[in-house]
Amino acid sequence: MKLKYTIKPIIVISIIGVILAGAWDITGEVQNVSVYNCAENYDHFIMLTNEIKNMNAKQFQITDFDGRQIIGDLYENRCFITVQSWAFESDNEELIWDGNWEKIAWSNQLVLGEIEPLTKGDQRFILNYQISKIALEQTDNMQDYDKLVSKLTEEAK
């Protein structure tokens, strides 16, 4: 019985050690560890969205491409799943809570494979997300992005 209780602290300490090990280099010096700032990036996305209203077509394409990259990063960093832990840091907190965050958090878990798709709509959402992610990684502008998305979508049929 005593062994059962002594293993838990060892496991916890081991997990903490593994997590912290990534912050030190081989010389034992602490390295800069970057943490994705969901609130800051969400606010930047909202700023871009608001600026779109006053843009010409070329500016819109650049901003739309940047916005899609930010949304992808927000998904990849589980920001919509963890929204309750960072929303208070956002300049747009009221806007966050006005949205359907339960559904967005669910879709975030869906695209990360944390939950199984329940419907064909879920499967399409995942496929569209994956196609968009590939296109964002392989292009650097909206025109090429749109072409690649069309090609990948056609290939997926």
- The tens digit of pLDDT for each residue in 103-126 reads 999 999 999 999 999 999 999 999
Contact 87, 97 (CB under 8 A): yes
Mean pLDDT of 14-20: 41
For residue 67, what are the CA distances in angstroms to 82, 129, 136? 20, 14, 11
Report the predicted TM-score, pTM, of the whole model to 2 decimal places.
Answer: 0.73
Confidence band, pLDDT 50/70/90 cuts, at residue 61: confident
Mean pLDDT of 14-37: 55
